Amino acid sequence: GNGDGAFQAPLAFVVGNPRSVAVGDFNGDGKPDLAVANINSNTASVLLGNGDGTLQAPLAFGVGTNPISVAVGDFNGDRKLDLAVANFNSNTVSVLLGNGDGTLQTPLALLVVGTSPISVAVGDFNGDGKPDLAVANHGSNNVSMLLGNGDGTFQAPLAFSVGAASPFSVAVGDFNGDGKPDLAVANFDSNTVSVLLGNGDGTLRAPLTLGVGNGPTSVAVGDFNGDGKPDLAVANFNSNNVSVLLGNGDGTFRAPLAFGVGAASPFSIAVGDFNGDGKPDLAVANFGSNNVSVLLGNGAGTFLAPLAFAAGTNPASVAVGDLNGDGKPDLAVANLGSNTVSVLINTSTVTATPPDTTITAAPPARSNSSSASFSFTATEAGSSFACQLDASAFALCVSPQSYSGLANGSHTFQVRATDAAGNTDPTPASYTWTVDTTAPDTTITAAPPAVSNSSSASFSFTATEAGSSFATATEAGSSFA
């Protein structure tokens, strides 16, 4: 069944200055835990999960200066999760190997990368089965690639320009379908995303830059239209929206679609199926509104209107995981302003009842206009609509829906609603009307003689179109009636 994508009021857990959050099982008990980068206390914290949505007191571990991003991987091959932390003001990455009990070892060394590393991601970029690191460097406008040796150490970084200003976030995906991981980088000051295709040996090709919204701060990967090709979702801090770029499967992307988040300063974005319909949805942490927006996907690359859920103060990062073991994805949010992590438990309920769709305004049954406008509603608030004219395919639309340039003849308009849970009206509302913009020809079939001695006259007449009405005038200059 499909759910509504709802979440409980947040549970708050105190931690130090959280700027980034990630999910992993750090003590091997099968219950997801959280890892947090604390930007002002120069630590990373692990909060062990109890399996019911609550968390234990944080354990803090020293890292570099101003840790700003955290990622999870098994960097030494011992099947225990480790952490990689980007340290913004020391231009380094800290790797903390996990002991498997929720504690972490002292970093082996600070790995020097570019200037102001702001985001770190994990992938196997040279195909050797050992996890590597990709780091977006905000100050040097490049990406550092650190190839892993499989023992927790890494090779010297390789630098690749992103071709844009102020990279802010990096994500991993195979954008050209060659089985080799690629990178997508959100560039804050250039209002772009850079796509760097991987060669499979740890090197990257020259970037392809794609325009998005204003001030992109976060990028995530998902298949939003169900074609098997990875797409991109980007949170735009300054334009208060999300850009969705559908992938062509060859490393290129279509022009972005914009979706408002209904809140201020979206800062972080994550992907999950929050209503259980098998279609990926988006969760966006809104730094300026102290909440999270959930945009439910319809599986066609577009999204329903956002649903808002409270978080802490200045949420800067959002991550997805099943934190209470009920099989539904929950949210973890790092709140920089309140020094807390919020846990939002998914309460999505099963519903199988589709909405009913009603056409509330339409053209007359016979119209002499080549344009038409329709208004419509659904029985469930928040529903989206798809419209069809004649034999065309159903396409997303909003009320009122207008058409122009219609040909003469019969036309049929249909509209169907889809609710927030993904249920679609199986019997679309339908209306058929006729467009006739051609005037009929009129013929007088019987009349008095041209010269008559009678004060009365009778006329018979016909028109070329059945059902026509007539108006007559009997004197020159008189009006028709």
Q: Over the stretch 367-390, which tens digit does the pLDDT of each residue have?
A: 999 999 999 999 988 889 999 999
Read off the pLDDT band of 481 (50, 70, 90): low
Read off the pLDDT band of 477 (50, 70, 90): low
pLDDT for 440 beyond 70: yes
Mean pLDDT of the chain: 95
Going across the sheet that includes 43-47, the strands are 18-24, 33-38, 43-47, 59-62
Return all residues near 348 (Cβ < 8 A) that are at least 6 apart. 3, 4, 5, 6, 274, 275, 276, 328
Check: CB of residue 27 under 8 Å from CB of residue 8. Answer: no
pLDDT for 311 beyond 90: yes
Average pLDDT score over residue span 70-84: 98
Domains, the chain, with CATH or none: 2-348 (2.130.10.10), 357-435 (2.60.40.10)
Least confident of 137-141, 357-361, 389-393, 440-444: 440-444
Instruction: Specify the pLDDT at position 20.
Output: 99
Instruction: Specify the pLDDT at position 382.
Output: 81
Check: CB of residue 125 under 8 Å from CB of residue 145. Answer: yes
Q: What is the pLDDT of residues 267-292, one digit of tens each?
A: 999 999 999 888 999 999 999 999 99
Average pLDDT score over residue span 360-372: 95
Average pLDDT score over residue span 177-200: 99
Q: Phi first, then psi: give them for residue 265, nearest 5 degrees.
A: 60, 60
Instruction: Specify the pLDDT at position 2.
Output: 46
Which DSSP string do the residues of 195-257 spell out, in sequence order? EE-B-SSS-BPPPEEEE-SSSEEEEEEE-SSSSSS-EEEEEETTTTEEEEE-B-SSS-BPPPE
Q: Phi first, then psi: give them for residue 73, nearest 5 degrees.
A: -170, 165
Check: CB of residue 139 under 8 Å from CB of residue 189. Answer: no
pLDDT for 256 beyond 70: yes
Answer with the residue of higher pLDDT: 276 or 43: 43
Instruction: Specify the pLDDT at position 357.
Output: 98
Instruction: Specify the pLDDT at position 315.
Output: 99
Instruction: Specify the pLDDT at position 380.
Output: 87
158 membership: H or E segment, kind and range: strand 158-161
Strands (DSSP E) found in 255-397: 257-260, 266-272, 281-286, 291-295, 307-310, 315-321, 330-335, 340-344, 357-361, 366-367, 372-378, 384-389, 395-397
Instruction: Specify the pLDDT at position 391.
Output: 93
Q: What is the pTM of this model?
A: 0.77
Record the tokens describing residue 375, joined without a space.
Answer: 């208004």
Instruction: Specify the pLDDT at position 479.
Output: 59
CA-wise closest residue to 184 among 202, 196, 174: 196
CA-wise closest residue to 87 among 150, 141, 24, 44: 44
Average pLDDT score over residue span 321-337: 97
Average pLDDT score over residue span 440-463: 90
CA-wise closest residue to 67 among 106, 117, 25: 117
For residues 481 and 472, what is the distance between their CA atoms, to the nearest angstrom? Answer: 5
Q: What is the largest CA-CA distance in the chain?
A: 122
Average pLDDT score over residue span 437-466: 89
Check: CB of residue 122 under 8 Å from CB of residue 132. Answer: yes
Least confident of 41-55, 78-92, 255-269, 446-460: 446-460
pLDDT for 109 beyond 90: no
Average pLDDT score over residue span 204-217: 98
Identify residue 422 by its one-letter amino acid code. Answer: G
Read off the pLDDT band of 297 (50, 70, 90): very high
pLDDT for 3 beyond 70: no
For residues 141 and 121, what is the distance between their CA atoms, to the nearest angstrom? Answer: 16
Percent of the chain predicted with pLDDT > 90: 86
For residues 162 and 173, what is the distance between their CA atoms, to the nearest angstrom? Answer: 16
Instruction: Specify the pLDDT at position 439.
Output: 86
Instruction: Specify the pLDDT at position 478.
Output: 60
For residues 150 and 162, what is the distance between their CA atoms, to the nearest angstrom? Answer: 27
